[in-house]
Amino acid sequence: MIIETKGLRKSFRSRQGRETKTVEAVRGVDLVVTEGEIFGFLGPNGAGKTTTLRMLATLIEPDGGEATIAGADLRKEPGEVRRRIGYVAQGGSTWDDSTAREELVLHARMYGIGKAEAQQRAAQALGAFQLAEYADRKCKTYSGGQRRRVEIALGIIHQPKIVFLDEPTTGLDPQSRAHMWDEIRRLRAEGMTVFVTTHYLEEADALCDRIAIMDHGEIVAEGTPAELKRDISGEVVIVGLDSPAPRAADVLGTQPYVTKLETPDEGGLRLYVNDGATAIPQILRALDGADIALRSIELHRPSLDDVFLTKTGRSLRES
Amino acid sequence: MKFARDVWLVFNRQILLLLRNPVWVFVGVFQPVMYLLLFAPLLTKALDVGSTAEAYRVFVPGLLVLLAIFGGLFQGFGLIAELRAGVIERSRVTPVSRLALLLGRSLRDVVSLLTQGVIITVLALFFGLRVHLGDLLLAYLLLALISLMTSAVSYGVALVVRSEDALAPLMNTVAQPVLLLSGILLPMTLAPPWLKSIANWNPFAWAVDATRALFAGNLGDDSVWQGLSIMAVLTVLAVTWAAREFARSVR
């Protein structure tokens, strides 16, 4: 367990005219993150993802609850937590008039690393993130993707056990985004735990080993993307037939792995199963055994948006 | 040890960025030189002193204090730019000392003020100003304290208000009465009694008196230790408060 939190809470007071309103940004978050995984925090803007992350990174103090991060107690030894984690903020963290190399050396030295070692690590990081070519140019001349890579490099220059990335791909073009995914996977391959927030469904699905879905300051679901999707409605196998449906429905309706069977108006069958990948061969065998000709077979897996919809009653794409 | 190193890291970076932008040096020196050339000559008659050198003896110390106050109070703008760029937040996730984040920046302001101060003093020497080196160094110490204090206040306020739009009027509102009530442009000895008694509550008026006494060669004057002590206490308070703002969790 590299991160374990219990009942982490934070509320902010905001003033609107004369009234002060208390906004409960995070209402009791329990999380477990395992070492070496890419853990995704998925949720719409304003769900409390950044607030949670900033609490874990010691930037804001929780109102309540506790957390252990890489073996250090968040509230009792924030200094120790800072040494063991890296954090990359959402809005950027590089100075226009500094070069990437300067930023990296300075940042390493702020962690207490000596000058020579800091320069060596900076050079290494510049190489690893394919930034060597622009290393001595001012940050303001970089593209969005290059600048984001500098920021990730800053976050891991002191070789932390875990790195928090707040929306690392927001605002990047599709190519830079794919590139960023590769970088994040590379960090995992090097043994680092990566805690990433995102409001992109595809990103959480493709990149993360495990995700927690957050909405209105609470975690509404947690698991691997596959588990989460399976849990809600199971998977759907759509079978296209040449012959009339009723006979096939009789055959397949009695199969133990089929939880529900529908005969849609457009023909064919919709079979709800727990695990489509293992169900398909069995469906093929059953139909073959009954000598029923099959025109097409198609597996429909629910998306994380279906998960979000089930848990919150809203679609993430709309919120 | 770690603390000194942290201060040096922050200071070093700030100085480097400052030198990268040489326009600053020009701007920082141009304005005070204009005062020196275009305003000080008026004072010879206004103050009813015998020579221009005499007028400089009164005006230069005031001008230096003015630069220290204004130079410091407006440093917060740079910090707001850094806040916006995320540089401060990035520093705050490292174990770097929070006090060093403040002091490294404020010391840059002290160094740039003293650079301005030296240039102005040297120029004034050409116009006949004479001052003992020991007195001058003590005066520079006082100026350093003022600049440290005002820049710390400015950084603290910048961290609270977090916007240039709020910082500018705030600092102007503070700076204007401070300027008028400190006898910077004209000595307070010219003031009517009621104005003088208000000015007594302005700590910077004490600092101006002390600097003037030093430039006049009156090291033993009470105003010297009084001015230095008042500034030292206020500097400690300002730095403590501003360092807390750097450490405080902000949204």
Give per-residue pLDDT as tens, B118-132: 999 998 998 888 999
State the greatest distance between any 2 C-alpha atoms of chain A, in Å, as a whole number: 77
pLDDT band at residue B139 under the 50/70/90 scheme: very high
Half-sphere exposure at residue B58, Cβ-oriented, CA atoms within 13 angstroms? 24
Which residues fall within 8 angstroms of residue A290, CB to CB, at 6 or more apart?
A247, A248, A251
Query: Is A294's Cβ below 8 Å from some Cβ in B?
Result: no
Q: What number is the average pLDDT over the span B28-36?
A: 83
Q: What is the pLDDT of residue B215?
A: 94
More confident residue, B99 or A229: B99
**Cα gap B139→B213, rounded to integer Å:** 9
A220, A221, A225, A230: CA torsion to nearest 10: -120
In A17-100, beta strands by DSSP E: 19-33, 38-42, 64-69, 72-73, 85-88
**Cα gap A294→A243, rounded to integer Å:** 8
Query: Is A52's Cβ below 8 Å from some Cβ in B?
Result: no
**Cα gap A284→A239, rounded to integer Å:** 10
The tokens for A107 are: 């940042």
The tokens for B66 are: 């003015």
Over the stretch A208-222, which tens digit does the pLDDT of each residue have?
A: 999 999 999 999 999
In A34-95, beta strands by DSSP E: 38-42, 64-69, 72-73, 85-88
Contact A47, A216 (CB under 8 A): yes
Over the stretch B76-85, which tens digit does the pLDDT of each residue have?
A: 999 999 999 9
- What is the least distance, in Å, from the CA of A96 to any CA of chain B? 8
Is the predicted pLDDT of residue B66 greater than 50, yes or no?
yes
Which residues fall within 8 angstroms of residue A89, CB to CB, at 6 or more apart?
A151, A166, B86, B89, B90
Which residues fall within 8 angstroms of residue A110, CB to CB, at 6 or more apart?
B6, B9, B91, B94, B95, B96
Over the stretch B44-60, which tens digit does the pLDDT of each residue have?
A: 877 777 787 888 888 89
The values of phi and psi at residue B128, to 5°, are 105, 0
Q: What is the pLDDT of residue A33?
A: 96
> Which chain B residues touch A102 with a CB distance below 8 Å?
13, 16
> Which chain A residues touch B96 with a CB distance below 8 Å?
110
pTM, full prediction: 0.87
- What is the least distance, in Å, from the CA of A7 to any CA of chain B? 20
Q: What is the pLDDT of residue B191?
A: 87
Query: Is B86's Cβ below 8 Å from some Cβ in A?
Result: yes
Q: What is the pLDDT of residue A73?
A: 96
**Cα gap A83→A156, rounded to integer Å:** 11
Which residues fall within 8 angstroms of residue A98, CB to CB, at 6 or more apart?
A106, A138, A139, B13, B17
Q: What is the pLDDT of residue A165?
A: 96
Q: What is the pLDDT of residue A319?
A: 59
What residue has token string 């590379």? Answer: A186
The tokens for B203 are: 């700590």
Q: What is the pLDDT of residue B44?
A: 80
SS3 A211: strand
Average pLDDT of every residue of chain B: 91
pLDDT band at residue B251 under the 50/70/90 scheme: very low
Query: Is A36's Cβ below 8 Å from some Cβ in B?
Result: no
Q: What is the pLDDT of residue B36?
A: 84
Q: What is the pLDDT of residue B83?
A: 94
B211, B100, B16, B88: CA torsion to nearest 10: -120
B3, B9, B15, B17: CA torsion to nearest 10: -140
Q: What is the pLDDT of residue B249?
A: 58
Helix axes A144-156, A100-110, angle to 10 degrees: 20
Q: What is the pLDDT of residue A38?
A: 97
* Nearest neighbour of A106 by CB, restricted to B9, B82, B95: B9
Q: What number is the average pLDDT over the span B83-108?
A: 95
Cβ of A59 within 8 Å of Cβ of B249? The answer is yes
Over the stretch A6-38, which tens digit does the pLDDT of each residue have?
A: 999 999 888 777 788 888 999 999 999 999 999
Cβ of B87 within 8 Å of Cβ of A106? The answer is no
Residue type, B7: V
**Cα gap B175→B187, rounded to integer Å:** 17
> Which chain A residues touch B2 with a CB distance below 8 Å?
112
Cβ of B92 within 8 Å of Cβ of A97? The answer is no
Is the predicted pLDDT of residue B250 greater than 60, yes or no?
no
The tokens for B83 are: 């806040």
The tokens for B44 are: 């010879």
Per-residue pLDDT of chain A (319 residues), as tens digits, is 899 999 999 998 887 777 888 889 999 999 999 999 999 999 888 899 999 999 999 999 999 999 999 999 999 999 999 999 999 999 889 999 999 999 999 999 999 999 999 999 999 999 999 999 999 999 999 999 999 999 999 999 999 999 999 999 988 899 999 999 999 999 999 999 999 999 888 899 999 999 999 999 999 999 999 888 877 767 888 888 877 778 888 888 888 888 888 887 777 888 888 888 888 999 889 888 888 888 899 888 788 888 887 788 777 776 5
Is the predicted pLDDT of residue B151 greater than 60, yes or no?
yes
Residue A42, strand partner residues? A198, A213
**Closest alpha carbon to A295 in A275, A268, A315:** A268
Query: Is B130's Cβ below 8 Å from some Cβ in A?
Result: no
Query: Is A109's Cβ below 8 Å from some Cβ in B?
Result: yes
Cβ of A98 within 8 Å of Cβ of B17? The answer is yes
Q: What is the pLDDT of residue A233?
A: 65
> Beta strand A64-69 with A3-16: parallel, antiparallel or unpaired?
antiparallel
